Structure 1
Amino acid sequence: MKNTLLFLALAFHAQAFDITVADKDHVAVANGDKVVAKLMMANDLSTPEKHHDTYKPYLHVFDASGATRLTKGPGFAYTHHRGIFLGFSKIAYGGKSYDRWHMKGGDQVVTKVTPGDNAFTAHIDWQGDTTAPFLTEERRFTFTTPAKPFYLGIEMNSAIKTVSGEADISGDPEHAGAQFRPSELVDTQSTTYIFPGEKIDAHKVKDLPWAAEVFTIEGKTFTVVILNHPDNPKDTATSAYRDYGRFGMFPKGKATAEAPFKLRYQWLIAEGDVRDAAVFQQAWNTFAGKSDPTPAITINASERKAAKPKK
């Protein structure tokens, strides 16, 4: 039944990772006894404040020990930036425009979670003008233990459909796409980005196979790389330049009930400062099924931008 919450409150063991689904609240992903990721999926309408904090699902990422949270939740600067998240600020549907990035006038609501081997699928309603959805999504996260120096791999496969008709899904590189947002405690003075190719300008380049970020939280340095699968929409922009660390890929396209808008990305997380083009390229080749050579790289210090306070 539509709009019925069908959560599975259970622990699912699958090889390296335990998937624990807590009713109407979160999905915890543990490697041994260490929680390394957690999908936050509550949708609490009891007060305006709780609604604001729970209007979209997002994935928190932790260090290998499970002690340090690497990603941001609600509040602080740019409150709508949360963990690993997916959204679009300009969705044209039925003669109207919807903003499901800032979550103006509607939520993304998880209605069911289906666990699998080292994975789970969140079934998500993208609300329209009412609580009824105009888009439905299946967002599958798969977890791996990659080759060193990475300790965690997170693959996201998303398929977004309309309930009827066609949707034009768009926005801009700053306000749309699949994104990773470091913790509010990120050291904005040291955030660094790495790109494949010489003299890359992330404001202009399209269809990069990967991009990496080095950031520091609570005195600890981490590296995250996003891998852009070749099946993703072409003309994809890479947004990777802010000092607070929000970065990712911005695709655009169309969706119908019969032909979903499909996206596939992988994030690899390492402890320490990794700037090895061969490591990044090999990871992408494995993900994409390619054998492309190791490129030259561009290393850019982040651009400074004054953060806006919480609204």
Structure 2
Amino acid sequence: MILVAGVMAATAAIGAEGVALTDAGGKVRVEIGGELFTEYNYKDVARPYLYPIIGPGGVGMTRDWPMKENANDVQDHIHHKGLWYAHGKVNTVDCWSEQKAFGKTLHEKFLEISSGAKQGVIRSLNKWVSADGKPLCSDERTIRFYPHSDVRIIDFEITFIASEGDLTLGDTKEGSMSIRLPTSMSVKAKGKVAEGHIINSKGNRDVDAWGKRAEWVDYYGPVNGKAVAVAMMDHPSNPRHPTYWHVRDYGLFSANPYGIHDFTAKTEQKQPAGAGDLKVAAGKKVTFRYRFLFHTGDEKEGKVAEHYKKYAATKAAK
């Protein structure tokens, strides 16, 4: 494995199925077996994100717009870019949208960029700031990329650091660990072809999966004629596991442990505003871990439940 700290490039001749990372300045290119898997975009953006993500069969697993024009895409929610982490209420600041007076997540530095035969790693330090640049908190994130012949896996670990004083990750549905899927994978879409479906570990399907708690959710549908899917998994070590899911029928797919008031508003378990606030005392930390499994077919063909059991048994990497 080649380990490169800071902003130096990392490349390696690591075999046909290894993972090679290269920092090209503004984005880190991730290749598996010599072919593009994804890119981590971190410069001149509202917040870092992965795009494109190339799944099984060589098809794109995220919506192209607004990074790239695609006539098949619904053009809404400009802040839904690839795969990203954001939240709509960080000490009351909106760090989810990209409208006037929104907060940002600024890349500060890389702590690790490494390539290898079994995995590639990006580890970085980021600062969350308000619209006027006031620091709110920091995060240290580790993203791991794994090579497999039949699936692709991304592990995303984020540690919030209350570096600027007491931190509140507020109760709102607008967040948090997210991916925006191709429009054709959506359950429905205005004026576009959409033939996708949603199912979670509890058996809730399509629109009924929104706001529910579950260990994992699988979102599957066609892309360029190929049946593909994305499963997102909530690690059992996460606060409030199993998490709530802000998973929409139009292709937004988010794990959100904070939005309890919004998610329970129309249920018998209705909670008051602020019930989902997660408070982190000054100088303390809180960590969340997620896995993305890119596979073919539906949740049964993709053996999502089996993959989840393996993921649930993993411990945080040192």
- For the Cα contact (< 8 Å) 1:80–1:101, is it kept in 2? yes
Shift of 1:141: 0.5
The 3-state SS of whatever aligns with 1:11 is: coil
Q: 1:101 aligns with which of 96, 105, 111?
A: 96
The 3-state SS of whatever aligns with 1:19 is: strand
- For the Cα contact (< 8 Å) 1:128–1:134, is it kept in 2? yes
Give the Cα–Cα distance (whole angstroms) in 2 for the partners of residues 145 and 278 of structure 1: 16
* 1:264–1:35 Cα change, 3 Å: same
- For the Cα contact (< 8 Å) 1:73–1:81, is it kept in 2? no
- Where does 1:54-203 land on structure 2 (aligned, <5 Å)? 54-60=45-51, 61-64=53-56, 68-72=59-63, 75=66, 76-92=75-91, 97-103=92-98, 104-113=101-110, 114-117=112-115, 118-146=120-148, 150-173=150-173, 175-183=174-182, 186=185, 188=188, 189-199=194-204, 201-203=208-210
Shift of 1:257: 4.5
Give the Cα–Cα distance (whole angstroms) in 1 for the partners of residues 302 and 220 of structure 2: 16
Shift of 1:65: 5.9
The 3-state SS of whatever aligns with 1:275 is: coil
- Letter aligned with residue 156 of structure 1: F
How big is the alpha-carbon RMSD for the aligned residues of Structure 1 and Structure 2? 2.5
Shift of 1:228: 0.6
* 1:223–1:169 Cα change, 3 Å: same
* 1:278–1:267 Cα change, 3 Å: closer
Give the Cα–Cα distance (whole angstroms) in 2 for the partners of residues 196 and 233 of structure 1: 18
Query: What is the aligned length?
Result: 263
Unmatched 5+ residue regions in structure 1?
Answer: 1-5, 44-53, 291-311
Aligned-residue sequence identity (percent) comes to 19
* 2:254 is the alignment partner of 1:255: no
**TM-score, length basis structure 2:** 0.74
